[in-house]
Structure 1
């Protein structure tokens, strides 16, 4: 289902409507084994992030509440999404994404955990860096600028910008686990904010 839907959306959004611009494509790892993160203010980022790395498939972490409806939950599962308990995350929350990464697949995570502007002071949650660190996989940060409403995917213009991947397996051996998590979290937040600022400036100068 993911392959069919993503292929259809790629044809409509990128080939016909030309509504997506991807910047920093050279930063996308050749191997699919990485965690990709992005700013998150609407559901449009979920779609456009998938289009930005097409034909590679993203396995998204999604809040468990979206799976309460049996049929909608099955549909989400067919699109490679899997449920997580954001309020009470435990060891089991990490097993699925780590397994996917070890199978050389890409995991998509929105670090703030919910739709909120980064300039509103949303904290950068540790989930993405914890998973990446445990799987020894790189983190590919991204930022989005574009329409927030679904219809804007067709009628508007969206931009996804990727930054340089953050390596998780080359950290000093004398760093403790919590120190590594703290460092990676701050590095991801710093790079994400910089990507968003650069993208906002790019849009302003090209109006």
Structure 2
């Protein structure tokens, strides 16, 4: 269902001139599992990120509450999303993405939440998952329409992938990588704004 939905979304975005222009695709690992940590300002960035990776599929980490919504929960499950309880994070927060990466899949995380505390927790989560999985993490930035209204207004979208990096073992390495990810997301966003 993922590929079918991605094709429909791609056509819809193209018709409305909102399919993101993608930069830095040469930075994406060609095979194996890895983490993508992308800026987040709406739900159209999810569509553009997913479409940009075809034929590969992204398994998105999504807040648990979305899965409780009738219809939407079923749909996002079909589209490879997996739930995370941000208020009471348990072992599954790490276990599910680690298993996905081990199987050679791509895990998508949006570490720039709306609240600063959430923002920090999500950045730490992305780094911890990459560290424990011994997987590369690819920073990415998106600028463009945030919702369907923006798409119908034919707002342009832009997506930029940064260079992947590994998170070494140890607490100091994790903290340094968190700082690096934060700086990279800011740098990529500014780079996109300058294009």
**TM-score (structure 2 length as normaliser):** 0.90
- Rounded to whole Å, the distance in 2 between the matches of 1:161 and 1:32 is 20
Question: Residue deviations 1:90-127, cap 9 Å, x none?
Answer: 22211100000000000000113x346x9xxx536300
Q: State how many pairs are aligned.
A: 191
- Rounded to whole Å, the distance in 1 between the matches of 2:91 and 2:102 is 17
CA apart distance, 1:69: 2.6
Q: Which residue among 140, 147, 150 is the counterpart of 2:148?
A: 150
Structure 1 residue ranges (4+ consecutive) displaced by more than 3 angstroms after TM superposition = none
Task: Answer whether contact 1:67 1:73 (CA < 8 A) is retained.
Answer: yes
Q: 1:133 to 1:21 in 2, by over 3 A?
A: same
Give the equivalent residue in structure 1 for 2:173: 180
Give the equivalent residue in structure 2 for 1:196: 189
SS of 1:191's equivalent?
Answer: helix
Give the equivalent residue in structure 1 for 2:93: 93
- Rounded to whole Å, the distance in 1 between the matches of 2:184 and 2:147 is 26
The answer on 1:135 being equivalent to 2:128 is: no
CA root-mean-square deviation:
2.0
Give the equivalent residue in structure 2 for 1:66: 66
Give the equivalent residue in structure 1 for 2:162: 163
Q: 1:127 to 1:164 in 2, by over 3 A?
A: same
Give the equivalent residue in structure 2 for 1:205: none
Greater radius of gyration (CA): 1
Q: 1:31 to 1:133 in 2, by over 3 A?
A: same
Q: Which runs of 5+ in 1 are unaligned?
A: 203-207
Q: Which runs of 5+ in 2 are unaligned?
A: none
